[in-house]
Structure 1
Amino acid sequence: MTITYEWRGDVDDGALNALHAGGFGGAVGMVDWRGRLERHSLGWVCARDGGELVGFVNVAWDGGVHAFLLDTVVAERCRGDGVGTSLVRLAAEGSRAAGCQWLHVDFEEHLRAFYVDACGFRTTAAGLIAL
């Protein structure tokens, strides 16, 4: 397995919808990822094994100094091989290069070891309203 990574890589909606469904559960959606990313994102990182999309992370932003990780996902067969941490590292590098000073992420408790221990995030107080 040789994984390649690309900041703002070409996104195939079908491949990303399938990867997202596999990572987050549920049916394969029909999201227009390319349109969504172009409208709302600073960038994104794609991980590929050969031509197959095996990892993805979206970096949304406020247009200033704050960037936000969303939709971090790695194909099940590639988990535990450092793909996720590489996605996050490259997302941080792309955000820093764009002039961002902060990279935020929200996560469920079972992902604490990944984001805090493996990726180096520190915990902060935050709030959330379910809409």
Structure 2
Amino acid sequence: MFNDIGGLELVTIVVLAILVFGPEKLPKVIQDVTGVIRKIRAFSDSAKQDIRSELGPEFKDFEFEDLNPKTFIRKQLAENEDLQEIRGTFDLRKELGEVTDAVNGREPEPAPGPDLVKKSAEPAADQRARFDADAT
């Protein structure tokens, strides 16, 4: 609940609470605040139980956290078998490596397996590639 409060902020809140309420009333205020938080949690839990009971047995596995769009999408992607098959055949690192090789002018690494494309005869070592000076 308070994961983003640092140590300095917590000390500041405690000092302000002591200054505002005084050391005599501070324990009573803390008890009142924790009691209110407990009541709110109990109300929330009972409301969740009421909603689950009204939805019926079809929604017995329903979780309110699934209403968060990120959680919903993550759950759907994990459960869908067709999407898992697609994710298994697509290798993003390989694709990015091929694009990087093409941009850098390197030959892509050959894929494992039989070579189905026959290479043409290599030019002789003494022949130079044509160079057009006007093109640069």
Which structure exhibits the higher relative contact order, with contacts defined as CA atoms closer than 8 Å and separated by 6 or more residues? Answer: 1
Decide which structure has greater strand share.
1
Query: Normalising to structure 1: TM-score of the pair?
Result: 0.18
TM-score (norm 2): 0.17
Rg: which structure is higher? 2
